[in-house]
């Protein structure tokens, strides 16, 4: 069975909502080469990306247009099988994309039961909250940014969970990776 892995950039106070502008994936003022290497490592272990419609549209409008992407994210997103949960999206407009119309848990269980490597979920706050509440997440990869924003959507919202620490990794930028299993 494939693992469903939630990967999020998160603040010290647990916020994953990036609307406040606290995270820039292409920030060249900070050495992110070690984070890029970690993301490349995780990308090799995954062959599917699961996102909600809002995150999908944001990614589709941004990443394919990056011609000088030193992170490798554009290449990864262009080639990986993408699954977008949406009841309104008709034509995804991005290669290797399948629209999932639900029911959500049935779709996710079918993806997990299919042959392949990890399925990564990122961004997609409402989708992640639904997956966490349903207990179908196998692993969390949290890239904790040393920022406190005080408001915004948090990863764990009214959920009782006991997690097992799998790994900690410090990066030059001060970001810390915390990997947890369920």
Residue spans per domain, the chain: 30-181
Residue-wise DSSP of 24-75: -TT-SSS--HHHHHHHHHHHHTEEEEEEEHHHHHHHHHHGGG-SS-TTSHHH
Q: Is the pTM of this model over 0.85?
A: yes
What does pLDDT average to over the chain?
92
Terminal-residue alpha carbon distance, the chain = 15
**Into which CATH architecture does domain 30-181 fall?**
3-Layer(aba) Sandwich (3.40)
Task: Give the CA radius of gyration of the chain.
Answer: 16
- Read off the pLDDT of residues 101-136 as tens digits, 9 standing for 90 and up: 989 999 999 999 999 999 999 999 999 999 999 999
- Read off the pLDDT of residues 24-78 as tens digits, 9 standing for 90 and up: 766 778 888 999 999 999 999 999 999 999 999 999 998 888 888 788 888 999 9
How far is 45 from 116, CA to CA, in rounded Å?
Answer: 10
- Read off the pLDDT of residues 84-94 as tens digits, 9 standing for 90 and up: 999 999 999 99
């Amino acid at each position: 069975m494939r693992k469903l892995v939630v990967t999020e950039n998160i603040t010290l106070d647990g916020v994953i909502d990036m609307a406040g502008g606290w995270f820039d994936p292409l920030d060249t003022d900070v050495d992110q080469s070690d984070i890029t290497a970690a993301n490349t490592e995780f990308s090799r272990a995954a062959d599917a990306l699961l996102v909600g419609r809002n995150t999908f549209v944001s990614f589709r409008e941004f990443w394919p247009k990056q011609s000088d992407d030193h992170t490798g994210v554009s290449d990864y997103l262009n080639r990986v099988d993408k699954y977008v949960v949406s009841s309104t999206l008709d034509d995804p407009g991005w290669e290797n994309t399948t629209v999932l119309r639900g029911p959500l848990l049935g779709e996710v269980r079918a993806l997990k039961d299919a042959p392949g490597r990890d399925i990564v979920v990122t961004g997609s706050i409402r989708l992640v909250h639904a997956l966490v509440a349903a207990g179908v997440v196998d692993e969390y990869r949290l890239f904790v940014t040393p920022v406190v924003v005080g408001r915004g959507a948090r990863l764990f919202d009214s959920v009782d969970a006991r997690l097992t620490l799998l790994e900690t990794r410090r990066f030059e930028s001060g970001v810390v990776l915390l990997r947890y299993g369920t």
